[in-house]
Amino acid sequence: MAASTLLLTKELPTLDYSATTERFDMTWEAPLSTLLGLGRAAGADFVEFFLERVNYISCLAEEDLITSISPKLSTGAGVRVFLGKADCYVSTNDLSFNGLKAALEKALSIMGLSLPSPNAYVPEIYLELLRDYAIAKGKDAWLDECSSIQEMGDILLATSDQLQKKGSHIQSRRAVYFRDWQEVLVAASDGTFARDIRLTQSVGCNLLCADGEHRTSNGLRDGNTSDPDFLRNWNYDHATNNVSEAAGNMLYADYVESGTYPIVMANHFGGVIFHEACGHLLETTQIERQTTPFIDKKGEKIAHENLTAWDEGRSEDAFGTIDMDDEGMPTQRTLLIENGVLKNFISDRAGSMRTGHPRTGSGRRQSYAYAAASRMRNTYIAPGDCSVEDIFNSIEKGIYCKKMGGGSVGPTGEFNFGVDEAYLIENGKVTKPLKGAILIGEAKEIMNKLSMCSQDLSLAPGFCGSISGSIYVTVGQPHIKVDSITVGGR
């Protein structure tokens, strides 16, 4: 039944809502608008509900066997209550009206609020006409169109077989895939009412090779959003060629000598350093904690004048692409740095409220168990005016970082990153392979040394962990030159 204009709190136990359990649609408007009104009647300044359904599966091939198939089904909701600039978040897997009401009551009590008296009026919250991105873009059919478990296994075993044929001195070989389907519904007391379906997939392979004391590990991962045919169209022949070639090059590579070098960082996953060393420092969560050196630098030069960087959610099929964020705001393109000048921060609702920086459609979370926070989407350095050849020719002796590995970043931008595949540059030419390289630096310093950008922008899938859990993101850049950086080695 629909909520009446003069609904009293004492009438809540008699309400009989029949929201559809198989999907999130217009039938959820009445119960959610009633609960939002109840939260406002209790004294909350703002109330938001986030509902989620997930259908996830992963598949792992090791050597010539499928060793793991891991499905996960989950349904749940979270309610966030704001009072002034303070907020709290409570989650539940009970999506009945009473279950959601209990979660709301708990959140209110944490904020020092309580449900109004039995004869209090529950104000109407007029939600917008359901903004349904799933219907608009035909997403409801995606799950049924994805690869079957049999097809997953066949493709991964074929990938592992190709690694065996192309590699040498192999100790282990793996191929892995996952599919993450998510339906979300956001309803808030400002009238937000929006639904979306996300389909995120990733597939990759890895080789571990050893010959006596010589060892190397090399891998590759591709990712996609919104294409049910992604796995069946994946070019595993091309992927296994790249991994096998890189492993062969690095197995007998010399160790790099420690020192300070100019470096060339490859496009694609090379963008992980900008993501980690600078991108996180532009999230409003860092401003709230006062742990970013850029806290008061908007409008000022923080990087080399040849550097421009974006964070956006609109690139077709990219790993961090979303039609709306997890607060129901449509996605957008956000210019972070233009010609070295800081233009914008990455902001969610709470971050905007507490810092004054405008929301950017960047409120993201791993699942209903987390409150949304300011998070990156597709974050990359924009193409420049140089050619790749120009960049290499500018270096007499340096290091080409072709494939980045793991690393760590301190709270204010100090970082160290391993390089999985590196080569010596001599007189503008790539010569012998090097291993053991670790890039060491600080965001404020390194951003001013990114002096050259080529035109070959390429994006790569990644996973980002922060206060709202692990989310899917894109990193990227063209080939870039860093004038000097400390390189750890032997």
Residue-range definition of the domain harbouring residue 148: 141-183+197-254
Chain centre to alpha carbon of residue 327: 15
Cα 482 to chain center, whole Å?
Answer: 26
Last residue of a domain, one of 230, 254, 278: 254
211 and 280 within one domain: no
Shared domain for 347 and 440, answered yes or no, is yes
pLDDT for res 42: 96
Q: Are residues 434 and 320 in the same domain?
A: yes
Q: What residues contact residue 64 under an 8 Å CB cut-off, 6+ apart?
A: 157, 160, 161, 164
441 found inside a domain: yes
- The per-residue pLDDT for range 357-372, each reduced to its tens digit, is 999 999 999 999 999 9
Average pLDDT, the chain: 95
Residue 4 has pLDDT above 70, yes or no: no
Q: Do the domain assignments include residue 240?
A: yes
State both tokens at 183.
């339906």
- Residue 445's SS3 state is helix
Confirm if 337 and 303 have CB atoms less than 8 A apart: yes
Q: Are residues 151 and 90 in the same domain?
A: no
Instruction: Read off the pLDDT band of 337 (50, 70, 90).
Output: very high
Whether 119 and 205 map to the same domain: the answer is no
Q: What's the pLDDT at 13?
A: 85
CATH number of the domain within which 178 lies: 3.30.160
Per the structure block, which two tokens stand in for 157? 């075993």
Contacts of 98 (CB under 8 A, 6+ apart): none
Per-residue pLDDT tens over the stretch 29-64: 999 999 999 999 999 999 999 999 999 999 999 999
d(CA 265, CA 400): 6
Alpha-carbon separation of residue 1 from 31, 39, 211 (angstroms) = 9, 19, 71
Q: What is the mean predicted confidence (pLDDT) over 91-108?
A: 96
User: pLDDT band at residue 2, thresholds of 50, 70 and 90?
Assistant: very low
The pLDDT assigned to 126 comes to: 95
Q: What is the pLDDT of residues 118-169, one digit of tens each?
A: 888 999 899 999 999 999 999 999 999 999 999 999 999 999 999 999 999 9
Residue 3 pLDDT exceeds 80: no
pLDDT at residue number 5: 59
Residue 417 maps to a domain: yes
Same domain? 117 vs 156? no
Instruction: Tell me: do 204 and 86 sit in the same domain.
Output: no
479 pLDDT more than 90:
yes
Residue 339 lies in a domain: yes
Domain count, the chain: 3
d(CA 263, CA 405): 16
pLDDT at residue 468 in the model = 98
Which 8-state DSSP code applies to residue 28?
Answer: G
Task: Give a yes or no: residue 106 inside a domain.
Answer: yes
Q: Which of 352, 350, 380 shows the shortest CA–CA distance to 365?
A: 350
Query: Poorest-confidence range of 66-80, 410-424, 468-482?
Result: 410-424
Cβ-Cβ contacts under 8 Å for 475 (sequence gap 6 or more): 269, 271, 272, 274, 275, 379, 380, 459, 460, 462
Res 11: pLDDT: 87
Are 319 and 472 within 8 A, CB to CB? Answer: yes
CA quadruple 191, 132, 475, 308: dihedral sign? negative
pLDDT, tens only, 237-261 = 999 999 999 999 999 999 999 999 9
CB atoms within 10 A of CB 145: 10
pLDDT at 413 over 90: no
| Residues 161, 275 within the same domain | no
Is the pLDDT confidence value at 93 over 80?
yes
Per the model's pLDDT, the better-predicted residue between 117 and 222 turns out to be 222
| Residue 352 domain flag | yes
Confidence class for position 18, pLDDT limits 50, 70, 90: confident
| pLDDT above 80: residue 1 | no
pLDDT tens digit sequence for 312-324: 999 998 999 999 9
